[in-house]
Amino acid sequence: MINRLNDINDLTSAQIERLIALAEDILADRAKYQDILNHRTLATLFFEPSTRTRLSFEAAMLELGGNVIGFADPNSSSATKGESVADTIRTVACYSDIIVMRHPKEGAPLAAALRSPIPIINAGDGGHHHPTQTLADLFTIRREKGRFDGLCIGLCGDLKFGRTVHSLIHAMSRYDNVRFILISPEELRAPDYILEGALGGPNAAYRETDSLESVMPELDVLYMTRVQRERFFNEADYVRLKDSYILTRRMLERAKDSLSILHPLPRVNEIAVEVDDDPRACYFKQTYYGKIIRKALLAAMLGVCE
Ligand code: CP
């Protein structure tokens, strides 16, 4: 049973495999699962904006027969009156069975989970972790590639603030012979704690570059990310860096036919709209798979499925 999901490292590889297997079964037979969370309630507490994560969790819960409460804007909650996150969690736990929480402060969902009588899922905390996006990414990679081992994955864009990148590196570095190519401007390099921690092992070779075009022919997976405007202290730095990479159809001419292009979305400018029609573009499928794997996660964390 999974009691808490703060960081992708809260899940063993065996648990990830079981979630993927359950998600496959949910994809194959939606009707079989339509009532399994009857009379259960999910609370979505979003202290920071979201489209995909919040709505996919809510759709997932409703499609499993459950109920949803929550807020999408903390300004409509008693947080504006000075209520602490801990008190908010203890209150919401009186009305629900499981909480999904996004917060701009790194560590806030973990601190909440330590005080919570019910399970809490981290839906993104600052530039730190986003484990359910990683489950969506892993499910997409598995469906597209059929494996995790032996892939060359390029991570491109804002590797400093991009929490989805940090969580995905942690997850993929568990598998054999994965090669990471970290593509970013110098100012947006992945933090040292990621490079020295997750990528320090013998199975996770990596190199850094600022040139997407030069590494394109090597890639099996290209994971594009937006520059995270909301994490910058200085607007001028954001404006200087925001268009560092724009993936175009022309740039893909040198890529493998089997390349899979992922992006956690939202996209700003980093993938030209003309790429959406390329059969290698997987990012909207990835969004759909995010709902399916979140259905599997809710069912597993509420003890209804293995
Ligand atoms: N990928 C992702 O977390 O999207 P949202 O910010 O829209 O939830």
CATH number at residue 108: 3.40.50.1370
Summarised one tens digit per residue, pLDDT across range 84-117 is 999 999 999 999 999 999 999 999 999 999 989 9
Q: How many Å apart are CA 96 and CA 121, to the nearest integer?
A: 13
Domain that holds residue 67: 4-129+290-301
Rounded to the nearest angstrom, the distance between the alpha carbon of 141 and the centre of ligand 1 is 18
Residue at 306 is within a domain: no
Same domain, 181 and 223: yes
**Ligand 1 binding pocket includes 51 (Cβ within 6 Å):** yes
Same domain, 223 and 273: yes
Ligand 1, atom nearest to 53 Cα: 8
Residue at 29 is within a domain: yes
Closest C-alpha to 46, from 113, 120, 104:
104
Same domain, 150 and 15: no
Rounded to the nearest angstrom, the distance between the alpha carbon of 54 and the centre of ligand 1 is 8
Summarised one tens digit per residue, pLDDT across range 17-64 is 999 999 999 999 999 999 999 999 999 999 999 999 999 999 999 999
Ligand 1, atom nearest to 265 Cα: 1
Tell me the whole-structure pTM to 2 decimals. 0.95
For ligand 1, atom 6, name the residue with the nearest CA.
Answer: 50
Helical axes 163-172 vs 131-145, angle rounded to 10°: 50
Quote the tokens at residue 89: 């969690």
Q: How many Å apart are CA 215 and CA 62, to the nearest integer?
A: 43
Q: Among the options 129, 130, 170, 294, which is catalytic? A: 130
> 3-class DSSP state for residue 49?
coil
Q: How many Å apart are CA 72 and CA 84, to the nearest integer?
A: 17
Query: How many domains does the chain fold into?
Result: 2
> 3-class DSSP state for residue 67?
strand
Q: How many Å apart are CA 36 and CA 38, to the nearest integer?
A: 6
Is 81 catalytic? The answer is yes
Same domain, 248 and 152: yes
Section 109-137 average pLDDT: 94
Summarised one tens digit per residue, pLDDT across range 7-22 is 999 999 999 999 999 9
Q: How many Å apart are CA 183 and CA 289, to the nearest integer?
A: 25
Same domain, 159 and 247: yes
pLDDT at 118 over 90: yes
Same domain, 137 and 266: yes
Same domain, 57 and 187: no
Ligand 1, atom nearest to 51 Cα: 7
Same domain, 104 and 193: no
Same domain, 20 and 86: yes
CB 109 within 8 A of CB 123: yes
Same domain, 101 and 173: no
**Ligand 1 binding pocket includes 284 (Cβ within 6 Å):** no
Rounded to the nearest angstrom, the distance between the alpha carbon of 43 and the centre of ligand 1 is 17
Is 130 catalytic? The answer is yes
Residue at 255 is within a domain: yes
